[in-house]
Amino acid sequence: MQLSMTGRNALITGGSLGIGRAIAKRFAGAGANVALVARRQHILDEARADVAAGSNAKVVTVAADVGSADGCRTAFAAAEAGLGQIDVLINNAGTSQRGAFESLSDELWQHDIDLKLLAAIRLSRAAFAGMKQRRWGRIINVLNTGAKAPRPASAPTSVTRAAGMALTKVLASEGAAHGILVNAMLVGLIESDQWVRRAQATGVPLRDVLANMAKDIPLGRVGTAQEFANLACFLASDAASYITGTAINVDGGRSPVP
């Protein structure tokens, strides 16, 4: 299926690396202009060159920490200034914080809530008014499969991601009458920079790390960021005009909950 996002403007948090950058590249290849939001400007500069290569898309970068209210305001205002209206919002910022429940401090819980849940709330609120006025919008919340099937020692990530799934349903219900479609994509095991870093830290070849991770995946392999981005592009396009309020696993069949 040939997907077109020509004329659309997308804001992508966590857009400098991994899944966020892959989504930005897929969107730009489909004709969208993109604003990449992340904390480190030098990584954003690398991402901008990568995303812009081979496309005519306008690519702007915003160095901001969306884990704070000020950071969210800065990110959205700069994205609008650079692109104009925001048609598509990808809430992708976050880290995989987890540990035994009794070891988790209030500070760690608060950081996770700020970065993963409140950032999505604040940015969605900023985007909603314009989307309602134009009667067209897409919001995609990037979560993980722990939102549906949390494992032991998976907090706080599984808890904030479950809240993100509830937020998705609330926004979808309120946005539907205004042409705003809101969905969640749940990450399983996807090849990304964190696994590269882990392989380097342990001295284990990356291919062996990925092969070990794939042992309990029905498809027999770890997914790619490009595969994740393909679904994001579909959901952000006009082709997905009757899909809203869903939480789709992108995990090769690994999650016990559909």
pLDDT at residue 235 above 90? Answer: yes
Please give the tally of structural domains in the chain.
Answer: 2
CA torsion 198-185-99-112 (nearest 10°) is: 110
Query: Distance from first CA to last CA of the chain, Å, rounded?
Result: 24
- 204 and 99 share one domain: no
Instruction: Tell me how far apart the alpha carbons of residues 79 and 107 are, in angstroms, rounded to a whole number.
Output: 30
At residue 257, the pLDDT reads: 95
The answer to whether position 4 is within a domain reads no
The mean pLDDT of 153-167, rounded to a whole number, is 97
**One domain, residues 80 and 159:** yes
Same domain for 67 and 147, yes or no, is yes
Question: 170 and 196: one domain?
Answer: no
What domain range is 201 assigned to? 189-222
* pLDDT of the residue at 197: 81
> Do both 133 and 152 map to the same domain?
yes
On whether both 145 and 91 belong to a single domain, the answer is yes
Domain match, 162 and 210 both: no
Question: In this predicted model, what pLDDT tens digit does every residue of 52-99 receive, in sequence order?
Answer: 998 999 999 999 999 999 999 999 999 999 999 999 999 999 888 889
**Is the model's pTM score more than 0.85?**
yes
Give the mean model confidence (pLDDT) for residues 186-214. 87
Q: What percent of the chain has pLDDT over 90?
A: 88
Pairwise CA distance, residues 240 & 127, whole Å: 19
pLDDT for 195 beyond 80: no
Residue 155 in this model has a pLDDT that exceeds 90: yes
Bond before 156 cis per omega within 30 degrees: yes
**Is 231 buried (19+), middle (13-18) or exposed (0-12) by CB count in 10 A?**
middle
Same domain membership, residue 216 and residue 123: no
Q: How far is CA 93 from CA 14, 37, 195, 211, 240, in A?
A: 4, 9, 17, 27, 23
Answer whether residue 202 shows pLDDT above 90: no
How is residue 224 written in tokens? 């790619």
Give Cα 234 to chain centroid, integer Å.
14
* pLDDT at residue number 5: 97
**CATH code for the domain of 70:** 3.40.50.720
Of 21-30, 77-86, 187-196, 229-238, give the lowest mean pLDDT range.
187-196
Q: What is the DSSP string of 163-219?
A: HHHHHHHHHHHHHGGGTEEEEEEEE-SB--HHHHHHHHHHT--HHHHHHHHGGG-TT
